[in-house]
A and B are shown apart, each in its own frame.
Chain A
Amino acid sequence: MGNVNVKQVDRVKQGLWEKSYIPEILRGLSVTAGHFFRNLSPNKSKRTIFTRDYPEEPTDYPDRYRGLHRLMLREDGQVRCVACMCCSTICPADCIHIEAGEHDDPGIEKYPDVFVIDELRCIVCGLCVEACPCDAIRMDSGVHIPPYTERSDAFYGRDLLMELGGLSQAKQGGDRSPS
């Protein structure tokens, strides 16, 4: 049997002030009443309730927040994506499905005939955005992925993703004029 380390803790002696209860009760009451009235204040910034009424009161997303995907557009309104399959290859959740089609413009080799993202499978990692060589897919739409009641609603097709998209500042390679 080893020595057991025993630490003697002194009991805090209560004086008459504490033992008479009432001043200490009043002190406790002043703490709780302070919280009560502070949280009743009409000025919300003075309250100490930090709960946000989420759906009624939207959250501020940070600048680099990854939300719903969007497909960026060329200057003529066509999709920027060249169906290189980089995003669907790197996607760890395997949620991007692309079927390439041949583009009429000889300067553009391919375009996505079908481009579907399953937002329910998406793990919002942002690797597709990193992988894209031509700034065609982004996750900066600023829109939270909404809840779905139908599984099929979560499949975002090309046109829907393009509606969220916009023009890209990046210059896309390749000479588009027929030579």
Chain B
Amino acid sequence: MVEVLISLLKITVIVFVFVMGVASAMTLLGDRKQSAKIQNRVGPNQAKFFGFSLFGFPHFIADGIKMVLKENIVPANANKFLHTIAPALVFMPALIGWSVMPFMDHFCTGTVQTLPDQNYTEICTGPGAEWKNYFSIMHMNSGVLFAFAIAAISVYGAAIAGWASNSKFSLLGGLRSSAQMISYEVSMGLSLAGVLMIYGTLNINEMIRMQGNLLGDWLPMWGIVIQPVAFFLFLLAGLAETKRAPFDLPEGESEIVAGYITEYSSMKFAMMQLAEYAATVFIAALVAVVFLGGWQFPYVYADGIRIFGGHWVPFGEEVWYWISIFLRIGAMVFKILFLVWLQFMMRWTLPRFRYDQVMTLGWKILLPLSIANLFVTALVLVIIW
């Protein structure tokens, strides 16, 4: 019973508070305020609460109210059932993937010991001590595979939305999105394969624990350090996966109106949009856990600060454990927010590709590069190990 309650609490906090909060705040802060700052504009600030514009935040609520109150239109001759469930099919995968995202290491009921001579592994010792999974919804041994499988499913939603709308623009958008997502899925998976070979595990939490290792006692062994090429490939493919500019061809306004969301109105449209933002946050989390050390805060370990072989325990063992928990959750959240911010910066920095350029980049540049990266990684591993 207690476990069920804890699970419900974790789902609420992670999915509904964090992910939905960030995703919906991005509709305002990322797309309007951030773009305004980049382009030397002020951005929306005229909707007010009792005379306070609050950085334009009331616009976000006004948008929500507007979306809910709009008429819900299903085009004539559209497949009503598929047209209705398509937004959910796009939206659900962006949220399900979070079930394997750890925001912190497992909680240790005893005392944690870090072993600097064994790659800075943290072990939980003490009478009856065990790891308790309090900081991710589900502890899964094949977490990375699960996350990728779920992320890949969202292409069905876009394709179905495109087909079911009975509109040529929607159909083109659906086709484009499925082609684009499948192309980039390949190089995304291949660039990840090199990392998986090094870590030798599919468990996301284990991967993050391994990234706590310090190379030469000072350089955190994050994924970006051991696989820099894969990091860029993965980030680029991830950008393309979220179907946002500069890869927003599936909904390119100048060519096909709004692509597969052309015929959507009201809250269904809002769900499509939110799904896009949620996918952005999810890709940010994936990059953070695989390449940027997830919840690892550099030099902060559960039993103190360690750098250059030194070891300090500020405020005593007990207190420090709690401080380290908050530092690590903060690090994870900060990394996700930073990557989301970076993706939005990309959107307002780069002009968008032509569709054939997207395909060329995907198949002729990213795919060979990721295969080469995989090959070199394998070679190095064989020689060193």
Chain A interface (Cβ < 8 Å from any Cβ of B) = 22, 25, 28-29, 31-33, 35-36, 39-40, 48-51, 53
Contacts and interface: CB of A to CB of B under 8 A. Distances in A.
Given A22-B232, A36-B34, A49 B346 contact: no
A35 B38 contact: yes
B345 A32 contact: yes
20 contacts: A25-B346, A28-B349, A28-B350, A29-B345, A31-B349, A32-B348, A32-B349, A35-B37, A35-B38, A35-B39, A35-B40, A36-B34, A36-B345, A39-B37, A39-B40, A48-B40, A49-B37, A49-B41, A51-B41, A53-B42
Given A28-B349, A29-B345, A36 B38 contact: yes
B63 to A, nearest CB: 21
Interface of B: 34, 37-42, 45, 232, 345-346, 348-350
Nearest to B39: A35
Nearest to B246: A25
Contact of B37 (A28, A40, A53): A40
A32 B40 contact: no
A25 B38 contact: no
Nearest to A34: B38
A105 B45 CA distance: 58
A5 B283 CA distance: 53
B126 to A, nearest CB: 47
B349 A51 contact: no
A25 B42 contact: no
B305 to A, nearest CB: 30
Given A25-B346, A33-B345, A49-B41, 12 more contacts: A22-B232, A25-B350, A28-B350, A29-B346, A32-B349, A35-B40, A36-B38, A36-B345, A39-B37, A49-B37, A49-B40, A51-B42
A28 B45 CA distance: 28
B34 A25 contact: no
Contacts of B40: 35, 39, 48-50
A29 B338 CA distance: 14
Max chain B CB contacts within 10 Å: which of A28, A32, A40? A32
Given A25-B349, A25-B350, A32 B38 contact: yes
5 residue pairs, one from A and one from B, having the closest CB atoms:
A39-B37, A32-B349, A28-B349, A51-B42, A32-B38
Nearest to A22: B232
B162 to A, nearest CB: 30
Contacts of A32: 38, 345, 348-349
Contacts of B349: 25, 28-29, 31-32
Contacts of B34: 36
A32 B350 CA distance: 10
B191 to A, nearest CB: 14
Nearest to B34: A36
Contacts of B346: 25, 29
A31 B38 CA distance: 9
Contacts of B37: 35-36, 39-40, 49
Given A22-B232, A40-B37, A49 B42 contact: yes
Contacts of B350: 25, 28
A22 B232 CA distance: 8
Contacts of B38: 32, 35-36, 39
Contacts of A49: 37, 40-42
Contacts of A39: 37-38, 40
B47 to A, nearest CB: 14
Nearest to A35: B38
A58 B327 CA distance: 45
A36 B37 CA distance: 5
Nearest to A48: B40
Contacts of B41: 49, 51
